[in-house]
Amino acid sequence: DAKTTQPPSMDCAEGRAANLPCNHSTISGNEYVYWYRQIHSQGPQYIIHGLKNNETNEMASLIITEDRKSSTLILPHATLRDTAVYYCIVRVANTGNQFYFGTGTSLTVIP
Partner 1 sequence: GAVVSQHPSRVICKSGTSVKIECRSLDFQATTMFWYRQFPKQSLMLMATSNEGSKATYEQGVEKDKFLINHASLTLSTLTVTSAHPEDSSFYICSATGTSGASRGEQYFGPGTRLTVT
| 8 touching partner 1, by CB under 8 A | no
State the Cα angle at 5 between 93 and 17, rounded to 5°. 85
Residues 47-86 within binding reach of partner 1 (CB under 8 A): none
| 45 touching partner 1, by CB under 8 A | yes
Helices (H), the chain: none
Radius of gyration of the chain measured on its C-alpha atoms:
13
The only residue of 36, 47, 55, 90 in contact with partner 1, by rule CB under 8 A: 36
Smallest distance, Å, CB 106 to partner 1?
9
Find out whether 71 and 17 touch, Cβ atoms under 8 Å. no
The residues binding partner 1 (CB under 8 A) are 36, 38, 41-46, 87, 93-96, 98-104
